[in-house]
Amino acid sequence: MSSFFHDIKKKCNFALMKTPIFIAGPCVIESMECLETVAKELVRINEELGTDIVFKSSFDKANRTSIHSFRGPGLEKGMQMLGDIKEKYGLKILTDIHESCQAEAAAEVADILQIPAFLCRQTDLLVAAANTGRIVNIKKAQFLSGDDMQWPVQKVRESGNDNVWLTERGNIYGYNNLAVDFRNIADMKKYSDVVIMDCTHSVQRPGAAGGKTGGNREFVPAMALAAKAFGANGYFFEVHPNPEEALSDGPNMLYLKDLEELVRKLIKL
C-alpha cells in the first residue's frame, strides 16, 4: 500500500491541510512526449508553490461519442507509460477504470482509482476498486444528486476501504449541456471528507460538436472559484500543451500554461 495512501488517510480532515488537493493532466494518453511535457510543468509548479499535484491521464476513454474517436493506448501500454512518469518525475498518479477486471492492474501504478460518472452505480466496479486498497475517487453521475452519492460511498466502505473521494462534474441540463448545482458539494461532504470539483468536465457540451464533445474552457476558472466558495477540498483540471490539437476533450481542457496562475489563486483564497 503506497505511502500516499497512508498520508491521505491521516489528512482526511482537510481543515488541517495547508493547500487543497490538485489533480491535473491530459484527458487521454496521447504520447509519451505529451505526458512528459505536462509532468515537467506539474513538477515545476509543485516546487514553486509547495503543492503536490496528482498527475491524471486515461489509458482508455471507453465512453467517447463516436466509435471512430481516439480512445488511448489501452491498459497494458497505458499503465506502463504512467508508471514511467511516476518513476521519473515522482508524481502521484490517478487514472480511471471502466471494468472491474482493470482495477488490480491499474492499482499497481495508480495511487488513486477513479470511477467515471456514468459508472458510479456499478457495484462490481466499485467493489473491485475498493479491494485494491487505493483511494477511490467517484465522480457524481450527471443524472444524480449530491445526496444520491451516499450509496456509492457505502459500497466502497462496506467493501473495507474508507478512503473514498467524491467529485462534482455537473448535471444534465436539456440536450448537449451541463449545469452545476454547487449545493451538491455541501451535500457530498456529508458522506466524504474529500470533495473535488471537476472544473473542466463541468464545462463540457456533450456530443455537441458533430460526433464529439464540445466545451467552454473560458468558464473553468469561475467553476473553480465558485467551488471554493462552497467548500470544495480539491480541484480537477484536465490540461494540455495545445488543447486545440488534443485527441479528446480539447474544447474544455485548460491550456497547460494557464494552470499555475489558477492554482496560485486558489491557494491564496
Q: Is the pLDDT of residue 84 over 60?
A: yes
Phi-psi region of 90 (alpha: psi -120 to 50; beta: other; left: phi over 0): left
- Give the helix ranges, DSSP H, for 50-149: 75-89, 103-107, 123-131
Distance of CA 230 to the CA centre of its chain: 19
* Residue given cell 516546487 in the structure block: 47
Q: For residues 94-117, give the mean pLDDT.
A: 98
Mean pLDDT for the chain? 90
Percentage of the residues of the chain whose pLDDT score is greater than 90: 76
State yes or no: pLDDT of 15 exceeds 60.
no
Q: What is the pTM of this model?
A: 0.89
Averaged pLDDT, 169-193 = 93
Residue 231 CB-half CA count within 13 A: 16
> In this model, does residue 17 exceed pLDDT 80?
no
122 versus 68: the higher-pLDDT residue is 122
CA atoms of 218 and 25, how far apart (whole Å): 18
For residue 205, the model assigns a pLDDT of: 78
Helices and strands counted in the chain (H then E)? 9, 13
Q: Which cell is 101 given?
A: 477486471
Q: Which residues pair with 164 in a beta bridge?
A: 136
The predicted structure's pLDDT at residue 79:
98
pLDDT tens digits for 219-246?
999 999 999 999 999 999 999 999 999 8
Confidence of residue 213 (pLDDT cuts 50, 70, 90): low
First to last CA, the chain: 33
Burial 223-234 (b: 16+ CB within 10 A, else e): bbbbbbebebbb
Output the nine-digit C-alpha cell for 218.
473560458
Cell numbers at residue 111, please? 495511487
Question: For residue 175, what pLDDT is reported?
Answer: 85
Q: Where does the pLDDT of residue 66 fall: very low under 50, low under 70, confident under 90, or very high at 90 and above?
A: confident
